[in-house]
Amino acid sequence: MTRGPSTFNRLSVALGLAFLYAPIVLLVVYSFNASRLVTVWGGVSTRWYAALAHDGAMLDAIGVSLRVGLVSASLATVLGLLAAMTLTRGGRFAGRGLFAGMIYAPLVLPEVVLGLSLLLLFVALGLPRGIWTVTLSHTTVTLCYAAVVIQARLADLDPSLEEAAQDLGCPPATAFVKVTLPIVAPAIAAAWMLALTLSLDDLVVASFTSGPGATTLPMRLYSQVRLGVNPEINAVSTLLIGAVATAVTLAGVWRRRRGR
């Protein structure tokens, strides 16, 4: 479309973005509120950030979430890359429909169903629930997202590039590593970030598959939120939002540099 936006077009985009961002902005602003009452403004203060630094349970939960997130995102990216290669280059093999189904279904299935089914698997296998069962569960769910992200990039790739490398004497594996992998790298990075974000954000699957001593950050936040609104949660949330904003900005800068 090339016609310029009408006033109505501009207005609907502006209102839509305002709707999306207003709650986030308010959350951040009220994390600097001196008052204990979240919705009454009592002056600017950083006391909730100081309180956070002494909240051992919350810091432990952040540690658990980071460990689960980093391990599961890395595993999911590797598995997702293999799955994406199978989807784009595997041709038509028996069971391809089932494979594609298993990749796409977790993207839309309710999390409670995924959480319950994974828990039953761990019970059937006799695995004690804890940080490793959460990590395996997150790997499974996020590998599907990683596969979809990487597969979109692989599908766009010109196969003649790799063929050219092979014609010039490259063994297939080397051609893949030297030609394809660098081109797909931004998608791999995006897939890893997406997997990490999803893992750090997940409440439902973690609640089902976690055990004692492996409380993730969302599980901790959820139990706090159930007790009522609390300015310390705003402070944690603001830090998380800041981390995400930084990561997204850095990724954008990196992409732009590569683009040139």
Partner 1 sequence: MTPDPLVPAKAGTQAGPGAHANRLGSRLRGNERWGGWWVAAIPYLWLLLFFAVPFVLVAKLSLSHTVLAIPPYAPRLDLGQGWAGLAAFARALSFETYARLAHDRLYLAAYLSSLRFAAEATAILLAIGYPIAYGIARHPSGQRQGLVLAVMLPFWTSFLIRIYAWIAILKPAGLLNQALAILHLPPLTLLNTDAGVLIGLVYAYLPFMVLPLYAVLERQDESLIEAARDLGCTPTQAFWRVTVPLSWPGVAAGALLCFIPMVGEFVIPDLLGGSSTLMLGRTLWTEFFADRDWPAASAVAIALLATLAIPIALFQRQQARVLR
128 binds partner 1 (CB under 8 A): no
Shortest distance, CB of residue 13 to partner 1, whole angstroms?
A: 4
- Residues from 131 through 170 that contact partner 1 (CB under 8 A): 136-137, 139-140, 143, 147, 151, 155, 159, 162, 166
Shortest distance, CB of residue 218 to partner 1, whole angstroms?
A: 5
1 binds partner 1 (CB under 8 A): yes
- Going by C-alpha positions, the residue among 258, 260, 216 that lies closest to residue 240 is 216
- Residue 254's alpha-carbon distances to 138, 169, 189, 250, 257, in angstroms, are 27, 32, 11, 6, 5
Among 131, 176, 186, 211, binds partner 1 (CB under 8 A): 176
Among 50, 53, 57, 123, binds partner 1 (CB under 8 A): 123
59 binds partner 1 (CB under 8 A): no
Shortest distance, CB of residue 2 to partner 1, whole angstroms?
A: 5
200 binds partner 1 (CB under 8 A): yes
69 binds partner 1 (CB under 8 A): no
Would you say 60 or 201 has its CB closer to partner 1?
Answer: 201
- Residues from 12 through 41 that contact partner 1 (CB under 8 A): 12-13, 16-17, 19-21, 23-24, 26-27, 30, 38-39
183 binds partner 1 (CB under 8 A): no
Q: Which residues are CB-neighbours of 42 under 8 A, at least 6 positions away?
A: 33, 34, 35
Give the pair of three-digit tokens for residue 259: 């683009």
Among 73, 80, 195, 210, binds partner 1 (CB under 8 A): 80
Give the pair of three-digit tokens for residue 126: 């006799």
